[in-house]
């Protein structure tokens, strides 16, 4: 079973439109839509914003719907000058840029008493997502690399530079690492797919609304291309 966690209502709605819906279940104030999507058993859900919502959502997908693959789609701020608004980032790994237990000797970003700094995405899923995006959205560029997540919308040059210095990620968003950590703990595979909506600096809030519709169209096309090959 494939769990698809979308950040935006419109994105989830677009996937539900093409889904053969079999059941709609509400838990933890989230609506889980189960059915057949592009020939695959899937559950589509909007987690809400932030890492806690994302982690709760992922755990329900695993426990209640027996998801063994988690796909997180949405938008993100670019942290790399090569990556433009509209481009797509596929995660190699994800971490919490706002976790800090350096006082106890842990590297910044690492959850204390966990063995890893970042949570690795499934290599095969990453490869398939890259291929799917190149096919579905040939007009945009695809990048693979680290995703940094935190419970903050990044719209300041200084904060952005600090995240880049600490972690060298390609993009920043607010859910991926919560899902990645849940996937790690439950030993299921995951990938994060993010369309770039802004540059995570002082221009971030300006770019964001204008780009949303285009980002949704790209990620829906990508998911439709990816699902049949999983």
* Closer to ligand ADE by Cβ: residue 171 or 226: 171
Nearer to ligand ADE, 189 or 201 (CB): 201
Q: Which helix (H) or strand (E) is 191 found in, with range?
A: strand 189-198
> What is the Cα–Cα distance from 180 to 185, expressed in whole angstroms?
9
Is 198 a catalytic site residue? yes
131 is catalytic: no
In the complex, minimum distance from the CB of residue 23 to ligand ADE, in angstroms, rounded to a whole number: 30
What does the H/E/C string look like for 134-163? HHHCCCCCEEEEEEEECCCCCCCHHHHHHH
Site for ligand ADE in 42-81 (CB under 6 A): 75-77
Give 167's strand partners: none
Q: Does the protein bind ligand ADE through residue 225 (CB under 6 A)?
A: no
Residues 6+ apart with CB under 8 A from 118: 93, 94, 95, 109, 146, 180
Q: How far is the CB of 20 from ligand ADE (least distance, A)?
A: 31
Looking at the Cβ atoms of 87 and 173, the one nearer to ligand ADE is: 173
Question: Of the listed 93, 173, 175, 198, which one is catalytic?
Answer: 198
- Tell me the C-alpha distance between 68 and 48, whole Å: 21
Contact residue for ligand ADE among 56, 172, 192, 195 (CB under 6 A): 172
Spatial CB neighbours of 24, under 8 Å, sequence gap ≥ 6: 31, 32, 33, 34
Q: Which residues inside 198-217 make contact with ligand ADE, applying CB under 6 A?
A: 198, 200, 204
Catalytic residues: 11, 198
Where do contacts with ligand ADE occur on this chain (CB under 6 A)? 75-77, 153-155, 172-174, 197-198, 200, 204
């Amino acid at each position: 079973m494939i769990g698809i966690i979308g950040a935006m209502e419109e994105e989830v709605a677009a996937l539900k439109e093409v889904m053969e819906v079999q059941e709609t279940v509400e838990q933890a104030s989230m609506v889980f839509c189960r059915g057949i999507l592009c020939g695959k058993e899937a559950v589509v859900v909007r987690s809400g914003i932030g890492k806690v919502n994302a982690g709760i959502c992922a755990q329900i997908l695993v426990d209640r719907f027996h998801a063994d693959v988690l796909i997180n789609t949405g938008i993100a701020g670019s942290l790399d000058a090569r990556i433009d608004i509209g481009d797509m980032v596929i995660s190699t790994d994800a971490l919490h840029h706002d976790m800090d237990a350096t006082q106890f000797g842990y590297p910044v970003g690492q959850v204390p008493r966990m063995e890893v700094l970042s949570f690795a995405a499934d290599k095969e899923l990453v490869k398939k997502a890259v291929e799917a995006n190149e096919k579905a959205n040939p007009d945009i560029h695809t990048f693979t690399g680290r995703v940094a997540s935190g419970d903050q919308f990044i719209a300041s040059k200084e904060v952005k530079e600090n995240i880049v210095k600490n972690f060298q990620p390609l993009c920043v968003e607010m859910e991926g690492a919560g899902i990645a950590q849940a996937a790690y703990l439950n030993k299921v595979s995951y990938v994060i797919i993010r369309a770039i909506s802004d540059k995570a600096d002082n221009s971030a809030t300006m770019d964001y609304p204008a780009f949303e519709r285009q980002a949704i169209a790209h990620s829906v096309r990508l998911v439709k291309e990816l699902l049949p090959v999983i």
